[in-house]
């Protein structure tokens, strides 16, 4: 486990202890204690400890790398840089005033470019977050991450975290060394949100560009703009700015927390995929994504049918429009359910809403409609479902309708 023993407090009384050396840069660093934010933030926090309210929320910040921790050759470089080059200590030192929002502890969990995120990374991160949130001396978690796969990591945690305490992810489009770097403001907003009582029970949230997004809805909508994230169709949950939080609506899907098997509209009853022991990447079903496009060849699907080892357990197809499929691809995909390979239809459109039975006769073919989940999030839900022993198309459709 990558967190201190439960008997070891995160936030000791009095001045903060000295910062230990940060973990070495790596995809999944060796276990080390969560420690208070590094200088100069830790020093300021220690001096201000006596003046802090006793009820100041306690937030743990986990760093995973990404552009928010990126470093370029000069301040004029916003496109050429190394992601994950700077430690979390450096990021925290660039955000004055965090100690007025919450008592802060930090840990460098990983230092990767998020394009390289793996199932090992996702499983390790969800185990870490669950272990941190299980502690009585922690009120919320903030995770710094790269933008490229943030929506996938956020949704994975949305499904696998077993606590209703706030989990807030944030990122940046400009490296930390660039002119007008957007990371410090986003990190300030993320801590503001994680410390807010209104964020509890909302599942995993994304704080970016003063907006609050649900992990279920958020997508990276721009490859270059600082306003890179959006929640198509549903819109943002609310806003966070200058230490203020406002929610316009609540997350309505099943997500984080203890699962009761009920879904009551505006209130959620937890995710069946949240488990204290966590998931191991080696135990997860293999699910791939294929794309329907003009002139598509079904040769990949044909190869799946010839794979006697049965490595792939499911396929998500990014269709056109309402999940419609090229006739040649549909004919090939129709073979898969009979061979025990699940098929989920999504769409390559930005605003996704794939309706069951529209464009394709799902019931006849044994396909599942993803609803408003894009292909990348649909893949994560499908691999968790298959790994949990849920494989029948009707049961899978029930899950996709709820999650």
Give me the domain span that covers residue 386: 285-402
- CA 47, CA 43: separation in Å to the nearest integer? 6
Residue 291 and residue 212 share a domain: no
Final residue of a structural domain among 199, 227, 247: 247
**238 domain residue, yes or no:** yes
Residue 371 and residue 223 share a domain: no
Residue 85 is predicted with a pLDDT of 81
Residue 62 and residue 211 share a domain: yes
Residue 198 and residue 316 share a domain: no
- Residues forming the active site: 67, 147
pLDDT at 7 over 60: no
Please give the structure tokens belonging to residue 296. 């598509």
How many structural domains does the chain have? 2
Please give the structure tokens belonging to residue 402. 């709820």
Evaluate the omega torsion of the peptide bond into residue 22 and state whether it is cis, within 30 degrees of 0.
no
Residue 35 is predicted with a pLDDT of 37
Residue 53 is predicted with a pLDDT of 52
- Report CA 282 to chain centroid distance, whole Å: 20
**12 domain residue, yes or no:** no
- Judged by DSSP in three states, 265 sits in coil
Residue 340 and residue 219 share a domain: no
CB 175 within 8 A of CB 184: no
User: What is the residue-averaged pLDDT of the chain?
Assistant: 84
**18 domain residue, yes or no:** no
Residue 241 and residue 160 share a domain: yes
Residue 183 and residue 111 share a domain: yes
Residue 209 and residue 83 share a domain: yes
Residue 239 and residue 305 share a domain: no
Final residue of a structural domain among 222, 247, 272: 247
Residue 157 and residue 57 share a domain: yes
| % residues pLDDT > 70 (the chain) | 82
**8 domain residue, yes or no:** no
Order of all β-strands in the sheet with 244-247: 35-36, 103-112, 58-65, 140-144, 167-170, 204-208, 211-214, 238-241, 244-247
pLDDT at 196 over 70: yes
Residue 337 and residue 229 share a domain: no
**Higher pLDDT among residues 285 and 44, named by residue:** 285
Q: Which of 4, 11, 64 is nearest to 33 (CA)?
A: 4
Residue 306 and residue 231 share a domain: no
What would the pLDDT profile of 221-259 be if each residue is shown by its tens digit? 999 988 899 998 889 999 999 999 999 998 877 776 655
């Amino acid at each position: 486990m990558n967190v201190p023993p439960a008997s070891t407090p995160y936030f000791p009384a009095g001045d903060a202890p000295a910062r230990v050396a940060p973990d070495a840069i790596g995809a999944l660093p060796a276990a080390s204690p969560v420690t208070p934010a590094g200088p100069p933030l830790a020093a300021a926090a220690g001096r201000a400890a006596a003046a802090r309210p006793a009820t100041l929320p306690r937030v743990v910040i986990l760093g995973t790398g990404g552009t928010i921790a990126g470093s370029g050759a000069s301040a004029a470089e916003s496109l050429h840089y190394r992601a994950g080059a700077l430690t979390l200590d450096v990021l925290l030192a660039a955000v004055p005033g965090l100690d007025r929002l919450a008592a802060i502890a930090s840990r460098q969990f990983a230092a990767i470019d998020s394009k390289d995120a793996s199932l090992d990374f996702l499983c390790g991160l969800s185990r870490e977050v669950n272990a941190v949130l299980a502690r009585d001396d922690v009120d919320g978690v903030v995770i710094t991450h790269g933008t490229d796969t943030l929506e996938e990591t956020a949704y994975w945690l949305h499904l696998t975290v077993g606590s209703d305490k706030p989990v807030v992810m944030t990122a940046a489009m400009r490296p930390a060394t660039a002119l007008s770097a957007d990371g410090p403001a986003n990190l300030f907003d993320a801590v503001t949100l994680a410390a807010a009582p209104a964020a509890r029970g909302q599942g995993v949230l994304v704080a970016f560009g003063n907006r609050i997004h649900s992990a279920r809805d958020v997508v990276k909508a721009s490859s270059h703009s600082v306003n890179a994230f959006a929640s198509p169709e549903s819109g943002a949950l609310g806003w966070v700015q200058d230490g203020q939080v406002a929610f316009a609506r609540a997350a309505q899907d099943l997500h984080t927390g203890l699962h009761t098997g009920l879904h009551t509209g505006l209130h959620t009853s937890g995710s069946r995929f949240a488990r204290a022991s966590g998931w191991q990447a080696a135990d997860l079903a293999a699910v791939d994504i294929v794309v329907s496009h003009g002139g598509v060849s079904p040769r990949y699907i044909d190869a799946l049918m010839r794979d006697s080892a049965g490595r792939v357990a499911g396929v998500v197809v990014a269709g056109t429009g309402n999940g419609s499929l090229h006739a040649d691809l549909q004919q090939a995909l129709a073979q898969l359910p009979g061979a025990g390979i699940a098929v989920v239809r999504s769409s390559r459109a930005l605003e996704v809403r794939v309706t069951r039975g529209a464009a394709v006769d799902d019931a006849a073919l044994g396909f599942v409609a993803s609803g408003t989940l894009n292909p990348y999030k649909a893949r994560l839900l499908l691999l968790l479902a298959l790994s949990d022993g849920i494989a029948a198309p009707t049961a899978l459709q029930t899950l996709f309708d709820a999650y």
